[in-house]
Amino acid sequence: MEDSKEMFKKTLLGSVALTVALSAGIASADTSDKKIALSNNYAGNSWRQAMLKSWDKVTSAAVKAGIVADAPAFTTAENQVTEQASQIQNLILEGYDAIVINAASPDALNGAVKQACDAGIVVVSFDGIVTEPCAYRIAVDFAKMGEIQVDYLARRMPKGGNLLEIRGLAGVFVDDEISAGIHKGVKNHSQFKIVGSVHGNWAQDVAQKAVAGILPSLPEVAAVVTQGGDGYGAAQAFKAAGRDTPLIIMGNREDELKWWKQQKDANGYETMSVSIAPGVSTLGFWVAQMILDGKTVPHDLTVPFLQIDQDNLEANLSNTEAGGVANVEYSLEDAKAAIK
């Protein structure tokens, strides 16, 4: 009799847990034995650190809830295509059911991605997407993200002026796309001229050194167009050189937003900030989980970038942790909404 009571109790508790899970929008248990890995090519700036932190936060909860069995993150030591391709091949051999990729190249990893697909592994790329047709892609219109910077400057500076361009990590799809958008914006607003270009690697310290190195050779700079993680470094370089601070487009990093707030309070400094939310990695996780769960998901998804303006600066800064990046993390319901 005691055994029967215990069995009934366990069955009842299981039913309650399932009801709660379903009402919370948690996926069915069909993926409880599945393993999803993150393959990341680079972690050398605050955006990438926030991206990894978001992945760990959301996936740890999913593992604890029994939605998936495991979801570790793997980052290559260098931003090298060959190293990431080898990493993906190792994940295939280790039996992962899905691999979510932030790729070093849009096409150079296609061979390894195809091997994963041929092995029955779901591949979802985000941020740095891949072009292999079997993979799923979560993309941001990075070119538009660059173009709107110059559109903003055209509204603020109708007479135009000289621009300094700070690019990201050389050879990466995201860097090329944002830069192309900036140059398109300059073509559309011919009153602007790019008088210098440096790579800041999406990192404040690298950007500061690069800008300091080129400033002596530049004429007066009206504005700085950026890719994220470089605005504060640029401001410090101009200050150290004893030059007037230009209008610097920011990239949603906490140190940039804090500096902007200080300048706004002191002298009314006005700019805008734009970047992709690092929590997009969590959307990649849920897309992979849903595919493993038998859901139909389009191979190409587009998500909006996160823009901060003068009137919502304080609200965004207050919600951004020290040393971090303004962020949006996705739940399963958010992922479903993004797909719709």
CATH number reported for the structural domain that contains residue 206 in this entry? 3.40.50.2300
Does 311 reside within a domain?
Answer: no
Whether residue 135 lies inside any domain: the answer is yes
Q: Is 159's pLDDT higher than 90?
A: yes
One domain, residues 157 and 69: no
- In terms of domains, do 28 and 90 share one? yes
Contacts of 283 (CB under 8 A, 6+ apart): 126, 138, 301, 303, 330, 334, 335, 338
Q: Give the residue from 256, 275, 294 where a domain finishes.
A: 275
| Same domain flag for 19 and 129 | yes
pLDDT band at 20 (very low <50, low <70, confident <90, very high): very low
Asked if residue 151 and residue 84 are part of one domain, the reply reads no
Task: Give the model's pLDDT for residue 16.
Answer: 34
Task: Give yes or no: residues 271 and 146 share one domain.
Answer: yes
- 229 with 45: CB under 8 angstroms? yes
- Does a structural domain hold residue 41? yes
Residue 20 domain flag = yes
pLDDT category at 180 given cuts 50, 70, 90 is very high
Q: Is 213 contained in some domain?
A: yes
Model-level pTM?
0.83
Domain that holds residue 285: 12-140+277-304+332-339
pLDDT at 27: 41
For residue 247, give the 3-state DSSP assignment: strand
Does residue 196 share a domain with residue 96?
no
117 in any annotated domain:
yes
Look at residue 6 and tell me if it is in a domain. Answer: no
User: 266-293, pLDDT tens digit by residue?
Assistant: 999 999 999 999 999 999 999 999 999 9
Predicted pLDDT of residue 172? 85
Within a domain: 228: yes
62 and 74 fall within a common domain: yes
pLDDT at 14 > cutoff 90? no
Q: What are phi and psi of 141, to 5 degrees?
A: -75, 80
Is the domain of 175 the same as that of 282? no
Residue % of the chain over a pLDDT of 90? 83
| Same domain? 37 vs 90 | yes
Query: pLDDT of 62-86, one tens digit each?
Result: 999 999 999 999 999 878 899 999 9
Domain end: 255, 275, 295, which one?
A: 275
Residues 27 and 65 in one domain: yes
Q: How far is CA 78 from the centre of its chain?
A: 18
254 lies in the same domain as 184: yes
What per-residue confidence (pLDDT) applies to 4? 36
pLDDT at 32: 96
Tell me how long the chain is.
Answer: 340
Q: How far is CA 237 from CA 29, 53, 219, 266, 280, in A?
A: 53, 29, 15, 19, 31
Domain count, the chain: 2
**Among the listed residues 280, 235, 227, the one whose alpha carbon sits nearest the alpha carbon of residue 251:** 227
Q: What is the pLDDT of residues 202-239, one digit of tens each?
A: 999 999 999 999 999 999 999 999 999 899 999 999 99
According to the model, what pLDDT value does residue 10 have? 37
Residues 131 and 148 placed together within one structural domain of the fold: no
